[in-house]
Structure 1
Amino acid sequence: MQTHVQTTALKIRGVDDVIAFIDSGSGIAGRAGVIWWLALGGLFLDAFSNSALSAGLGPMARDLRLSAGDIALMTSFASWVAIAFNPIGGWMADRWGRVRPLVLAKIFALVGALLVMFAPGFEVVLAGRFFVGMAYGIDFAIAMAMLAEFTPAHLKSRLNAWQGMWYTAVCLNLLLALLFHAWQVGDSIWRYSIAATAVFSVAILVLQLLFLVESPTWLARKERIVDAATAMTRIYGRSFVAAPPEERVPVLNQAKRGLANLTLIFRGIYRPRTLLAATVQIGQSLEYFAIGWYLPLISAALFGKDFVYATLGALLFNVFGIVGGFMSPVVGRKIGLRRASALGFAAVFAMLLVLGLYGTKLPMWMSVVVPSLFILFHSAGPGANGKSLSSLSFRSELRAGANGVVGALGSIGAALGLLVFPLFRERYGLDHTFLILAAVPCVASVICFAIRWDPTRSAVTPDNEPDAPHFEGDEDERGAWLNPVMEDPRR
């Protein structure tokens, strides 16, 4: 006799039901897991695109006869472009959903890679980097929002895994550079690194087209309950249905004013969260792109100008980034994202002081240990947390927009870091450049200690937050600079 087990469809009345189901999961499995890793794969591509020029920067400078000013402009150009496209990407995602802008970003990344790879001169390289900046700006704002919306509350700190993916991409770039060097391609080695970026762009574009599904949380916050139930069914492999209209729970304080939504993140309880996320994002971008991105050049200064030795030194440093990046979710879970950022900035400040005060006078083993610890403390601490803090601190229809604003501020930090390092190094020398840049993590650490908000330490879920600012009046704006701990309305 055959037994048929009837599975009852789960009823979706509103965003609370979507969040409750996602939070009830012990992990992120099935198609949800595929979507989660594909969103993270897009960030891998962003890291790969941004670091593709790093390993071959010296040969590229010789090949195209670039001055220090040319290098500063070229390396920072994508970040300047991302300043504009971070908020544009966030606006697109909050208005049209997560999937379409993510796919568009991969197309921009591919166009940028092809332009740079075949560039006959400096101007075409800049055009290619413009498209890379567009892709980077759009993708990071949206992918982090999507990761947050597919992650159960008890696994919030897992968003920091993107930092490990970043350094994996950087190390893969350096390994490929060693491979291409073995092919004896000469100073055109940088073109091969960019070609690898094009290959990854095509692969991730195809996979995202095939497997991504729109975020049910975003759909529910937009009161598209039927679409949210359909998306849940596709993602989680069980039946979901939309509740009848009379049973649906309306969304409170929904932001419906397009770009005007962005002003909400500077009001009420959101204001200190925005300041915290922006501080971490600007600080970590400045310190990484002024120091970490130029590690192949710093390695050459420490270990000699031989391409293989300089690349191996940079590879060793960045392996510590992989370790710290994948440790970051554990660190965030243990001590919180805010404290992890504050302590990480303080440790990075100490490492920059050592490099600035002693620099080339350090014994060989210290020349290896100090930059490695710089990368370890950066990646395990503030490196991932700016984007994670902005992704976890705002409700769904504001999340990508907030990521866009915070990401734009981070891109300003990245652009400044990429711009000032070659100029400062030429004017003041490497040691004094380290000392000047040490001010950045010092100030950022103080601010992180002062602001008490931490989404991994709050009982509140932003999508259900009763005191969230809205446009209808200011009566609910009772925010404070200390942790706003309120009862979760779902309990």
Structure 2
Amino acid sequence: MVADMCVSIKAGSSDYLEKHPERRISFSQNFYIIGVTFAAGIGGLLFGYDTGVISGALLYIKDDFEVVKNSSFLQELIVAMALIGAIFGAAIGGYINDSLGRKAATIVADICFAVGSLLIAVAPNPTLIIVGRFFVGLGVGFASVTAPMYIAEVSPSEIRGGLVSVNCLMITTGQFLSFVINYGLTRVPGTWRWMLGIAGTPAVIQLVLMVFLPESPRWLYLKNRKEEATNVLSKIYPSPRLEDEIDILEAHMEQEQKDKVKVKYSDVFKLKEIRVAFICGAGLQAFQQLTGISVIMYYSPTIIQLAGFKSNESALFLSLIVSAINAGGTIIGIYLIDIVGRKKLTLSSLIGVVGSLILLSASCYVRGHGNPSLVYGWLAVAGLALYIIFFAPGMGPVPWALNTEIYPEEFRGICGGMSATINWVGSVIMSISFLSFVDAIGLGESFMILLAIACVAIIFVIFYMPETKGLTFEEVSNIWKEKAYGKDKNIESMVETAST
């Protein structure tokens, strides 16, 4: 049994694929995987659409409701309520994913999206807008946990990073579409109602598609539904690799039954190897938000107006260009993540973010301190564009991709949900405080705070983030065991001994 496990566990690893290059799977070889990825990625599309659409809709909500126009707090609350909903959705989403499966979690997300979008579209006052935003946020939270996890678990290890990054492409595509729709609806009666209500359509489409999509084979195996899992795997892997992948899941299941580890939230912090993995995953999610991406995406039209471009149409058009750059950068990230690797891509991304924030903060500072020249306004727009150019390929997809592959199977739902919750908490902090900070200390000074955080993020990645490119889930697990207990092969994992 031990010998068999040692042989089969290599399926999908770099050594295995070097010995059997003919068993390597490329993007173009299996359209089933691509179809499942894009269908699951509709959750990312909805996630991105909501992120982008509110930035333009807010301009018109202020026009319709004087009380919103006169209150920075109400504006921040309308933006942040979806993020507050996302915190709850992400926290609950981990449990639903582990207990009911990835399909059920996706269906719940779609229902929340549809209900929230309908409430907003018919809202007679800001209060119902805020309630609808909370329901949409619940859907966003579920989707942020479920979509990347689901995609990772149906993906061969050699293209897993790229496929998970497709979810990020769907997010940025959703953001881009939101700005296109925002710009196209600028002269349509009920502008913001159409902008925010349209999100219900793709949610309904995905809900229908989920009837035909398979459940994650890894989740099915853990639930002892082996025949269903094998049927799904047979559509992903050709023989003989299929048999090797089944052997891995079988060995993993035997180990699970032997250990009978009942996972609790407290175990994430009690078990050293899980704790160090979670610090890495949660830290990357936190830095993704604290370096300012939510500020850029939620408030880019407002920032552009503060930089000197006063009309709604001009602000939305320039924001549309920034969003298009975001989608293009994510496509580059999909190509690079499994070639360059997660760590190098993240470091290069953060270094570029630091440079762009220097330009952005300096130009906004000069304009905010008495220089009315529109040159500094254009420099600020250039800083926004550069920020997205560098952020999108690395810090956009990597935190989500890494969090799908650094935790053992039994902890993946809980840790993925917790780290996504931290991401959303960071997003709430940034979105609900940014305009207040701008009012208090100025636009340029606010971007200087983001600059300092980005510098700290670089240090964190250098010293704490491992490279996981091309590794199987089991090989990644061994990285954390070494970090937790050193390279002494005689040291047994606390996860494996927790039940003894």
1:307 to 305, 312, 322: 312
Q: Secondary structure at the match of 2:310?
A: coil
Amino acid paired to 1:230: N
Residue equivalent to 1:126? 130
Shift of 1:301: 2.2
Corresponding position: 1:352 with 2:357: yes
Amino acid paired to 1:299: I
Shift of 1:222: 3.5
2:393 to 359, 373, 380: 380
Residue equivalent to 1:473? none
2:203 to 193, 201, 204: 201
Residues 244 and 413 (structure 1), Cα distance of their counterparts in 2 relative to 1, 3 Å cut: closer
Residue equivalent to 1:489? none
Corresponding position: 1:441 with 2:440: no
* Alignment check: 8 A CA contact 2:37 2:166 kept: no
Q: Secondary structure at the match of 1:181?
A: coil
Residue equivalent to 1:76? 80
* Alignment check: 8 A CA contact 2:406 2:476 kept: no
Residues 224 and 351 (structure 1), Cα distance of their counterparts in 2 relative to 1, 3 Å cut: same
1:416-454 per-position Cα deviation (integer Å, ceiling 9, x unaligned): 111111111122221111112222212111101111412
Alpha-carbon distance in 2 for matches of 1:256, 1:94: 15
Residue equivalent to 2:63? 62
Percent identity between the two aligned chains = 22
Corresponding position: 1:450 with 2:451: no
Alpha-carbon distance in 2 for matches of 1:346, 1:241: 44
Residue equivalent to 2:495? none
Residues 127 and 368 (structure 1), Cα distance of their counterparts in 2 relative to 1, 3 Å cut: closer
Corresponding position: 1:423 with 2:436: yes
Amino acid paired to 2:473: P
1:108-123 to 2 correspondences below 5 Å = 108-123=112-127
Shift of 1:467: 5.0
Alpha-carbon distance in 1 for matches of 2:102, 2:268: 20
1:73-152 to 2 correspondences below 5 Å = 73-152=77-156
Residues 299 and 100 (structure 1), Cα distance of their counterparts in 2 relative to 1, 3 Å cut: same
Alpha-carbon distance in 1 for matches of 2:270, 2:73: 36
Corresponding position: 1:432 with 2:436: no
Alpha-carbon distance in 1 for matches of 2:337, 2:185: 38
1:441-480 to 2 correspondences below 5 Å = 441-456=454-469, 459=471, 461-463=472-474, 478-480=482-484
Amino acid paired to 1:191: R
1:164-313 to 2 correspondences below 5 Å = 164-183=169-188, 185=189, 188-209=190-211, 211-233=212-234, 249=251, 250-253=253-256, 260=264, 263-264=267-268, 267-286=271-290, 287-313=292-318
1:21-58 per-position Cα deviation (integer Å, ceiling 9, x unaligned): 89845135233321111111211112112322111211
Alpha-carbon distance in 2 for matches of 1:244, 1:127: 46
* Alignment check: 8 A CA contact 2:44 2:174 kept: no
State the TM-score, normalizing by the size of structure 2: 0.83
Shift of 1:165: 2.0
* Alignment check: 8 A CA contact 1:324 1:379 kept: yes
> 5+ unaligned residues in a row in structure 2: which ranges?
18-22, 368-372, 491-500
Amino acid paired to 2:329: G
Instruction: State the number of aligned residues.
Output: 460
Alpha-carbon distance in 2 for matches of 1:451, 1:225: 37
Residues 423 and 154 (structure 1), Cα distance of their counterparts in 2 relative to 1, 3 Å cut: same
Shift of 1:311: 0.8
Q: Secondary structure at the match of 2:186?
A: helix
Alpha-carbon distance in 2 for matches of 1:204, 1:378: 28
Alpha-carbon distance in 2 for matches of 1:15, 1:33: 30
Residues 259 and 395 (structure 1), Cα distance of their counterparts in 2 relative to 1, 3 Å cut: closer
Residues 397 and 16 (structure 1), Cα distance of their counterparts in 2 relative to 1, 3 Å cut: farther
Q: Secondary structure at the match of 1:260?
A: coil
Alpha-carbon distance in 1 for matches of 2:127, 2:62: 14
Residue equivalent to 1:394? 407
1:378-430 per-position Cα deviation (integer Å, ceiling 9, x unaligned): 11121221111110112333222221011000011100111111111122221
Residues 18 and 221 (structure 1), Cα distance of their counterparts in 2 relative to 1, 3 Å cut: farther
Residue equivalent to 1:3? none
Alpha-carbon distance in 2 for matches of 1:256, 1:217: 17
Residues 116 and 258 (structure 1), Cα distance of their counterparts in 2 relative to 1, 3 Å cut: farther
Shift of 1:112: 0.6
Alpha-carbon distance in 1 for matches of 2:126, 2:308: 29
Shift of 1:87: 2.6
Aligned-residue CA RMSD in angstroms?
3.4
Alpha-carbon distance in 2 for matches of 1:466, 1:126: 42
Residue equivalent to 2:26? 27
Residue equivalent to 2:493? none
* Alignment check: 8 A CA contact 2:44 2:168 kept: no
Shift of 1:141: 0.8
* Alignment check: 8 A CA contact 2:363 2:376 kept: no
Alpha-carbon distance in 2 for matches of 1:14, 1:227: 22
Decide which moves more: 286-295 or 255-264.
255-264
Corresponding position: 1:161 with 2:166: yes
Q: Secondary structure at the match of 1:380?
A: coil
Decide which moves more: 420-429 or 158-167.
158-167
* Alignment check: 8 A CA contact 2:307 2:380 kept: yes
Residues 190 and 353 (structure 1), Cα distance of their counterparts in 2 relative to 1, 3 Å cut: same
Residues 153 and 237 (structure 1), Cα distance of their counterparts in 2 relative to 1, 3 Å cut: closer
Alpha-carbon distance in 2 for matches of 1:234, 1:315: 39
Residue equivalent to 1:329? 334
Shift of 1:313: 0.6
1:32-88 per-position Cα deviation (integer Å, ceiling 9, x unaligned): 321111111211112112322111211112312311001111211121222232131
Amino acid paired to 1:333: D
* Alignment check: 8 A CA contact 1:14 1:225 kept: no
Residues 84 and 468 (structure 1), Cα distance of their counterparts in 2 relative to 1, 3 Å cut: farther
Alpha-carbon distance in 2 for matches of 1:404, 1:85: 9
Residues 381 and 465 (structure 1), Cα distance of their counterparts in 2 relative to 1, 3 Å cut: closer
Decide which moves more: 227-236 or 294-303.
227-236
Amino acid paired to 1:216: P
State the TM-score, normalizing by the size of structure 1: 0.84
* Alignment check: 8 A CA contact 1:40 1:165 kept: yes
Residues 463 and 94 (structure 1), Cα distance of their counterparts in 2 relative to 1, 3 Å cut: farther
Residues 252 and 238 (structure 1), Cα distance of their counterparts in 2 relative to 1, 3 Å cut: closer
Residue equivalent to 2:416? 403
